[in-house]
Every structure is written in C-alpha cells, then in structure tokens.
Chain A
Amino acid sequence: MALLEVEDLRVAYGKIEAVKGISFTVDAGEVVTLIGTNGAGKTTTLRTLSGLLKPVTGKITFGGEVLNGVGAHKIVSMGLAHSPEGRRIFPRLSIEENLQLGAFLRKDADAVAKDIDNAYERFPILGERRRQAAGTLSGGEQQMLAMARALMSRPKLLMLDEPSMGLSPIMMQKIMSTISELKEQGTTILLVEQNAQAALSLADHGHVMETGNITLSGTGEELMHDESVRKAYLGED
C-alpha cells in the first residue's frame, strides 16, 4: 500500500472549485512532483493534505489512516510535514526557535538537540546566525530554514511547496541539490515546483495539474520527454 493515497479530491473556496477531483499516490521512499501553471491548484492540494483546508469530497489516506477531519496540528504528529509556499518562517523568532518549533510535538529533547546540530551541519549559515531573528535571513536562507524546520518533525513524508520560488540560480541549485540529497537518504518527498526541469529530473513520478485537474501523469523521465510538457513547461517550441 502506498504511503499517501489521494482519491477523487475536490477542494473549493466558497463556490469556486480549485481542485476538481484528483487522485494520486506517493510510495515510501519516492519523490513525486506536482507541476503546473499558476493557479492550477497545487498549493490548495498541499494545504488540504496537511489539514489547513477541508476537502469537499475525496479521501486522503496516510500510512493507513484516514486524514479527513483530522486537525492540522495533529497531522504533523502522524508524520506529514509541510514546508509552505512562500517559506513562512516565523520572522521575529530566532533561527533556533524556528527549528525548535519544527520539533514542537517531539518529547525526545536530546534527539531534538542533535537534529538541530545536524541542520546546522547541512546549512552552516543557519548555525552561524542561530540567535538572529529569522526575518533577517535572505530569501534563499529562509528557504533553507523552512526546509530544515519541516525536517525537525522527522516526517515520513515531506511536502515542499515551490522551494525554489524567487531564488537566484545559484541558490536554486543549492536547494535542488539538498532535495536530491534528502532523496538519497531515503526521505519521501512530495514536491511542488514551477521549475519543471529541475523537479522532473529529480522525481520518480510526476503529475501535471491544469485548472484543478491532473491532466498527465508519468515517471519523471517520461514527462520530461513528453512533447506537451516540453512545450508548456520547459520553454521549448
């Protein structure tokens, strides 16, 4: 059985349906990417999976448990972490406090301290500035913090919403190589990206979303060579 199963998910803002009945699965250990144009419903999908939005219909199963109706603050403890679009670090808390909040529900203080050290090893800049307000970090550094914070809950599934958004090419590369490192270490990832090229080259599976529907699915490899994808998302004509 897949780690995450999404069946016929529909989500609406008032009368406007933003996600119109999508189904997909994520197996343990794989990287799955959702790509698509602006407003396709990718963020809405992730926010529904983490419990911030309530679906109209559809079933979400995670690790064998049904997530429908479970509060957002409980879903984290089941092993689903969400690094949201726009990073959303807590700007007036220090970097270290942001990381501690990522481990909010964990009781194993020693292991948490160790994980914080590991985060500083992975992203040395965070360690150097651990006592500073997180709002003083650059966009790319904030993205590192957001990812490190999401990892602090030791998730079974890490959801990343546009981690490369608004970053310089160098920073984007750094973030993407971090994601592939995480993949090699066996982290299961659901990745939403505008940068389709980078996302598809990392992903085991990918889904193309358009105006609330999944219009195309395949392995990362297949989608990268699909003509319509090349035209629409990889800037070829």
Chain B
Amino acid sequence: MQDLPDQLANGLALGALYGLIAIGYTMVYGIVQLINFAHGEIFMIGGFGALTAYLWLPDGTGLAVALPLMILLAVVCAVLVAIGAERFAYRPLRGGPRLSPLITAIGLSLALQQAVWAFYPDAKKARPFPQLGGSDFDLGFVTLSREDLFIFVSAPVCMLALGLFVAKTRTGRAMQATSQDPDTAKLMGVNTDRIIVMAFAIGAAFAAVAAIAQGFKTGEVNFRMGFIAGLKAFTAAVLGGIGNIYGAMVGGLVLGVAEALATAYIGDIPGLEQFGGGSWKDVWAFILLILVLLVRPQGILGERLADRA
C-alpha cells in the first residue's frame, strides 16, 4: 500500500471532476425539483467545444494560449445548449406531470448524442484530446500529474466563486429564496424564470470545465462520454444530499476516492481477487450509492425531508 498517497490523489482528482458535474444536477434539482438527465450530454458537448477550439487554433499554439480559449468555447457551447434545453424542452412542461420532463430528458440525451455524432467529423471514434505534456510534480509524499493539477486548481476556483455568488450577492440570495419557496420569491419581485436559466447555465459551465479535465485525464473525448460520467455525477449529487451544492462536491470526492481505492486494493483482499482492477471500477460507485441510501437516505449533507417543509 505504499502508493496510497498517489491513489488518494488520483481519487480526489476523479472526485473533484464528478463533483463539478454533480453541481449541475443539484442546482437544477434544488430550484425546480427536476433531474436533468441530459446533463451528461451537456458535459460531453463541453468536451467537444474544447476540442473544436483546439483544432481551430494553428498548429503549435502554446497551451497557455490554447487552454483559456478551449475553456471559453467549451463553456459557451455547454451553456448555450443547456439554456436551449431549459427554454424549449423543460419550460413548456413545467407544472405538468413529474414524469414528462424525465422522459424529455432521455429523448434530449439521445438527440444531443446523435447531433454530435452526425455533425462532428469522426465523433463516432474516440477523438484524441490534446495533452498537457510535461513532467509530473513530485511533492515528495505524492506525485501529481499536470492533468490532476488542472482539476485541483479549477474545482476549488469554481466552488469558491459559486459559494461567494450564492451567499453574498443579491442574485445569489434570490436563487436561495427561489429554491426554498418559488412562489414567495416571486412575491418579492424575483424573476424566477431567470433564476432557473441561471442554475442551468452555471451547472453547464462547471460540467464543461469537468469535460476538459476528463479529456486531459483520458486523452480522448467521444459522443458517449456523458453517459457514465453523468450517472456517476448524479450518484455524487444524491450521495452528498441532492439540492446542496457543497454536498455535491463532497459526494463527488467520496465517490472518487472510494472508486480509486476499491479499484486499486480490492483485488488484494484474499477471496476478492476477481473484483480488482479497472473492469469493476464503475460498479463501486453504485454499490456506494445503495449503501448510503440505506443508511442515510437524505445524503451526506442533506437535511431530513421534514426540515424542508
């Protein structure tokens, strides 16, 4: 187990990535009680946005120039698609039966996958994603790759910005009010439609950043990448207590660490050899979810439903 620090760092990097995507599920759920199951595809579109920006740039552009532009186009694409989805797919169904937006989300997911598949040259194959290159950082007790560094910087920056926005700004307060009681928020003069759009947009922007992190980590993007990532991020949001933005990040981190440690060490336990390694890595997330739902159904930072009444 002497590589434990490295496995932990790996798990935290993975977890921060899940956490960033999970914010989008949790914010939208917190405000409109809707699980936007197309959020995984928004994440995927962010990845293709970043790749597109990179391919537009002349060969040999340094990463210092390319990276900001990749982030910019990733965020713009993801946010535009999310706002469009809210406006044209979800808003018309608001106030209707709970099942309609869920079915719409599934249809929307497929449509977005097919759109990328059809219009992006060669999206059928996994497209290679630019790499950060350069050597790892050896901090003595742990080695960090440059890919990990990207997520270790961007996730805290995103969380800090979101935390300050929600707690300190007038619009952030309106967002909290809308999530606690939308009708009464309207009576205060809050345009709740705008707040809902904002929740979709913030979630999409964070997912786009996460998609770049995943592109760096795995070296590729493909039109199916949103499915597993979205499912795990949804798990993270439920783990942390859906509706709670810090819960989403905590849930993501717990999930990432559990996945990394299980993948690395379960196979060492006598009798469990066959469960070790990468082929089982997607299973641990869901086992963890089931355990948490049994023991603490409101999630790690979630409040009991009674407290919300």
Contact = CB atoms under 8 A, between A and B. Distances in A.
CB-CB nearest 8 A-B residue pairs: A72-B186, A105-B189, A76-B189, A88-B184, A104-B189, A101-B188, A104-B188, A90-B180
A50 B187 contact: yes
Interface stretch (A57-65, A91-99, A118-126): A91-99
Interface in A10-51: 50-51
A84 B187 contact: yes
Contact of B173 (A72, A73, A82, A100): A100
A153 B189 CA distance: 9
B191 A101 contact: no
A94 B183 CA distance: 19
A77 B174 CA distance: 16
B172 to A, nearest CB: 10
B174 A104 contact: yes
Nearest to B303: A92
Contact of B192 (A73, A77, A91): A73
A90 B177 CA distance: 6
A186 interface: no
B8 interface: no
A91 B184 CA distance: 12
Contacts of A102: 188
A56 interface: no
Contacts of B170: 100, 104
Given A101-B177, A104-B174, 9 more contacts: A51-B186, A72-B186, A90-B181, A90-B184, A92-B180, A93-B173, A93-B176, A102-B188, A153-B188
A92 B176 contact: yes
A52 interface: yes
A71 interface: yes
Contact of B187 (A82, A91, A93): A82
Nearest to B184: A88
Contact of B183 (A52, A92, A104): A52
A132 B181 CA distance: 18
Nearest to A152: B188
A153 B187 CA distance: 10
Nearest to B178: A90
A105 B189 CA distance: 6
B197 interface: no
B173 A52 contact: no
Q: How large is the interface on B (under 10, 10 to 19, 20 to 34, 35 or more residues)?
A: 10 to 19
Interface of B: 170, 173-174, 176-177, 180-181, 183-192
A153 to B, nearest CB: 7
B258 to A, nearest CB: 29
B193 to A, nearest CB: 9
Nearest to A134: B180
A65 to B, nearest CB: 16
Contacts of A84: 183-184, 187
Nearest to B183: A52
Most chain-A CB neighbours within 10 Å: which of B177, B186, B187, B192? Answer: B187
Contacts of B186: 51-52, 71-73
23 contacts: A50-B187, A51-B186, A71-B186, A72-B183, A73-B186, A73-B189, A76-B189, A84-B184, A84-B187, A88-B181, A88-B183, A88-B184, A90-B180, A90-B184, A92-B176, A101-B174, A101-B185, A101-B188, A104-B170, A105-B189, A149-B188, A153-B188, A153-B189
Interface in A70-90: 71-74, 76-77, 81-82, 84, 88, 90
Contacts of A72: 183, 186-187
A93 B167 CA distance: 10
Given A90-B176, A101-B173, A104-B174, A76 B181 contact: no
A153 B188 CA distance: 8
Contacts of A82: 187
B177 A93 contact: yes
A100 B127 CA distance: 50
Interface in A101-117: 101-102, 104-105
A223 B177 CA distance: 40
Contacts of B188: 73, 76, 101-102, 104-105, 149, 153
Nearest to B171: A104
A71 B174 CA distance: 17
Most chain-B CB neighbours within 10 Å: which of A72, A84, A149? Answer: A72
A93 B190 CA distance: 15
Contacts of B173: 93, 97, 100-101
Interface string A153-164: 100000000000
Contacts of A88: 181, 183-184
Nearest to B167: A97
B187 A77 contact: no
Contacts of A100: 170, 173
A82 B190 CA distance: 14
A190 to B, nearest CB: 14
